Amino acid sequence: MTDRRALLRDYRDRQVQAGIYAVRCLVTGEAWIGGTADLATRQSGVWFSLRMGGHSSASLQAAWKTHGEAAFGFDVLEVLDDEGLERLGRASLLVERREHWRVKLGAEGLRR
């Protein structure tokens, strides 16, 4: 039981990095841009929803179904320096930077 408590404590105390990421289809070159408060866990969340067939982006889900998991990559585009920002400020910064990358790469934006 002690090991479990230590693992939970370590998880809670870990340094969380917010940032912008891209999901890329290596076959078509398409990209989908998202922002998250926790880059370390985001890929597993996106992959899980895609595997289950319930991702909120219909175009990403369709590409996943057509090309398969092996055709996709996950790239961190930017780690945000959000120290000192409150929750609302962090959310605004994520939206602003996600839009910057979406336009720069001509990609679709993801809600998460």
Spatial separation of the C-alpha atoms in residues 69 and 90, rounded to whole Å:
31
Query: Are the C-beta atoms of 8 and 80 separated by less than 8 Å?
Result: no
Domain residue spans of the chain: 16-109
Does domain 16-109 match CATH 3.40.1440.10? yes
More confident: 4 or 38: 38
Give tens-digit pLDDT for 6-64: 777 766 766 789 999 999 999 999 999 999 989 999 999 999 999 999 999 999 999 99
pLDDT at 9: 75
Evaluate if residue 1 carries a pLDDT over 60.
no
Query: Are the C-beta atoms of 95 and 109 separated by less than 8 Å?
Result: no
pLDDT at 63: 98
Rounded to two decimals, the pTM is 0.84
